[in-house]
A = this chain, B = another copy of it.
Amino acid sequence: MIKTRDADSHTKEKIFMAASEIFEEKGHSGARMQEIADRAGINKALLHYYFRSKDQLFKAVFVVLMKKMFAKIISIMKEDMTFKEKIKKFLDEHIEFMIKNPKLPLFLLSEISQNPEFSESISETVRLRDLKTMLYEQHAKELKGYGIKKSDMSQLMVTIVSFSVFPMAAYGMISVLMPEFRERKKFNEYMRERKEFASGLLFAALKNRKK
């Protein structure tokens, strides 16, 4: 049994997991190397052995979490379906994804806004051009028929994403305003109801514009 190698990758993995959690919770500047080490059940020095510095550890985590977020969105947009089918599927899957990763959106929004420079290095990794091309194809094929101008596409996209992302990013605020949602189960129900609410709203609006 190759003990060293097993231990090696296993430890690195443990550190990475711990770092993801802590960074997601507290952000880059709020996170402490000590706390990451504690959660990983290892020593502070090992963090530097595997990831040299806090910044590099953070970047490794950030890239993976960024991909995680967009992989979900892109995989759905890619599929060959009508616009309505895509919306339904997106709301369903993305809201379930958000429920499983509740800290993710606010973390990404915060860190990107504080570090736009290195977020750009990621835009290649995430293959965003594909996303745009797909959207414009869909527009040419189908959305014109709804009376949606090309210039409204970005409004529409931001709106659709906001249906699932915003309540999750605003969870803290929402649970202060509506204390019933401090119970996570109740809030998850709320999010699931949102699938119907959002598609209902969008489709009702489109119906009125359909030529």
Partner of A110, one of B110, B131, B152, B204: B110
Q: How far is the CA of A110 from the CA of B27 in the complex (A)?
A: 9
Q: Is the CB of A152 within 8 A of B109?
A: no
Contact with B along A184-202 (1 / 0, CB 8 A): 0000001001100110111
**Residue on B with the closest CB to A193?**
B155
Residues of chain B within 8 A (CB-CB) of A178 are: 154
Residues of chain B within 8 A (CB-CB) of A100 are: none
- How many residues belonging to A are interface residues under a CB distance threshold of 8 Å? 55
Residues of chain B within 8 A (CB-CB) of A123 are: 176-177
**Residue on B with the closest CB to A156?**
B197
Q: Is the CB of B176 within 8 A of A112?
A: yes
A163, CB-defined interface residue at 8 Å: yes
Check A112/B173 contact, CB under 8 A, given A29-B29, A30-B29: yes
> Would you give the shortest CB distance from A2 to chain B, in whole angstroms?
41
Q: Is the interface of A mostly helix, strand, loop or mixed?
A: helix
A33, CB-defined interface residue at 8 Å: no
A22, CB-defined interface residue at 8 Å: no
**Residue on B with the closest CB to A154?**
B178
Most buried by B among A151, A158, A175, A209: A158
Check A172/B204 contact, CB under 8 A, given A29-B27, A154-B178, A177-B128: no
Q: Is the CB of A109 within 8 A of B169?
A: yes
A9, CB-defined interface residue at 8 Å: no
Q: Is the CB of B204 within 8 A of A208?
A: yes
Most buried by B among A120, A159, A173: A173
Q: Is the CB of A176 within 8 A of B116?
A: yes
**Residue on B with the closest CB to A155?**
B197
